[in-house]
């Protein structure tokens, strides 16, 4: 009597082995060739959090009969944590608005301030106004 051994194979062992080897090679290649950006402006402490920004609109609600123009014409009028590149010097006439973006991320409080000169249409400065924009996200 002659016995022959029958082999049954569906190829799953071979496919799984190839996938495992490719995965290991990918991990090794990532460890060897990955280099962080050297000129990155991202601070190490911010890498662990999701960072974004919150928008604020400053609206000049003075009427045309009693118009007061809001002037922020120097970069020194803006301080704090504005979203880069930061706001530009600008003038906001009556009925118009200006949009600001302030940094935000969980577990941190960000403050940004703008100082406006209050100017009448005849260019007489009648005072100044400082607006603070505070972002304090709740803990997630």
pLDDT at 105: 87
Residue 122 domain-assigned (yes or no) = yes
Q: Which two tokens stand for residue 139?
A: 């803990």
Domain that holds residue 53: 48-136
Residue 123 domain-assigned (yes or no) = yes
The CATH number covering residue 68 comes to 2.60.40
Residue 15 domain-assigned (yes or no) = no
pLDDT digits (tens, 9 = 90+) for 73-107: 999 999 999 999 999 999 999 889 999 999 998 88
Encode 88-119: b = buried (16+ Cβ within 10 Å), e = exposed.
eeeebebeeebebbbbbbeeeebebbbebbbb
Residue 42 domain-assigned (yes or no) = no
If one counts the domains in the chain, the total is 1
**How confident is residue 49, by pLDDT bands cut at 50, 70 and 90?**
low
């Amino acid at each position: 009597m002659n016995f022959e051994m029958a082999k049954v194979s569906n190829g799953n062992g071979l496919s799984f082995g190839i996938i495992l080897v490719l995965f290991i090679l990918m991990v090794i290649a990532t460890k060897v060739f990955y280099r962080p950006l050297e000129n990155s402006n991202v601070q190490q402490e911010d890498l662990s959090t999701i960072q974004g920004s919150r928008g604020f609109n400053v609206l000049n609600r003075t009427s045309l009969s009693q118009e007061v123009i809001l002037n922020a014409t120097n970069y020194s009028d803006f301080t704090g944590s504005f979203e880069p590149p930061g706001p530009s010097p600008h003038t906001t006439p009556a009925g118009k608005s200006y949009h600001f973006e302030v940094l935000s991320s969980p577990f941190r409080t960000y403050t940004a301030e703008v100082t406006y000169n209050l100017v009448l249409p005849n260019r007489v400065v009648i005072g100044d106004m400082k607006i603070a924009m505070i972002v304090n996200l709740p803990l997630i």
